[in-house]
């Protein structure tokens, strides 16, 4: 739906361009959110979200008592729900449809605990289009169920 992989690069469809635009726009809605590496694949997205107590407005802490903006901020589930909602509404408007599903209900998250793991995941994201023929999310994959690099012990 979001495009196809050609010679190791993703060629986005109009829907893929909408997904990418909405992903890049997330920090405008969530000032405590920064985006790291990401890739919109033909039928899914990989991305790194960085949540912090500092946003575009600077430090949002207020001594020992948390500031309202921290208390009201969304966690990962709220951010992903918003992203899926924004992109679904725009894709459905583009194709003249109403209430059509675009995304699966759940998502996979993982806490990155150190620099080595971060670098491994960044590499995985960057190289994902090159490995598309073996990706477990690829319906035509020859090797379904291969573990992600950070899942290996």
Mean pLDDT of 28-51: 95
What the block records as the tokens of 49 is: 């979200």
- Compute the average pLDDT of residues 119-147: 82
**Does residue 97 have a pLDDT over 70?**
yes
DSSP 84-153: HHHHHHHHHHHTT-SS---S-S--------SHHHHHHHHHHHHHTTTTGGG-TT-TT-SSTTPPPGGG--
Run of H or E including 13: none
Q: To the nearest whole number, what is the mean pLDDT of the chain?
A: 83
pTM over 0.85: no
Q: What pLDDT does 125 receive?
A: 96
């Amino acid at each position: 739906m979001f495009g196809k992989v050609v010679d190791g690069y993703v060629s986005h469809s109009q829907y893929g361009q909408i997904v990418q635009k909405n992903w890049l726009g997330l920090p405008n809605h969530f000032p405590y959110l920064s985006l790291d590496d990401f890739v919109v694949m033909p039928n899914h997205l990989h991305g790194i979200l960085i949540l912090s107590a500092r946003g575009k407005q600077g430090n949002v802490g207020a001594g020992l008592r948390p500031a309202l903006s921290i208390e009201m901020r969304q966690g990962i589930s709220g951010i992903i729900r918003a992203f899926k909602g924004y992109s679904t509404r725009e894709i459905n408007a583009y194709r003249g449809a109403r209430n059509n599903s675009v995304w699966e209900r759940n998502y996979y998250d993982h806490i990155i605990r150190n620099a080595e793991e971060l670098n491994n995941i960044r590499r995985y994201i960057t190289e994902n289009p090159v490995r598309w023929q073996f990706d477990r999310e690829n319906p035509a994959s020859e090797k379904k169920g291969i573990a992600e690099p950070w899942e290996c012990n």
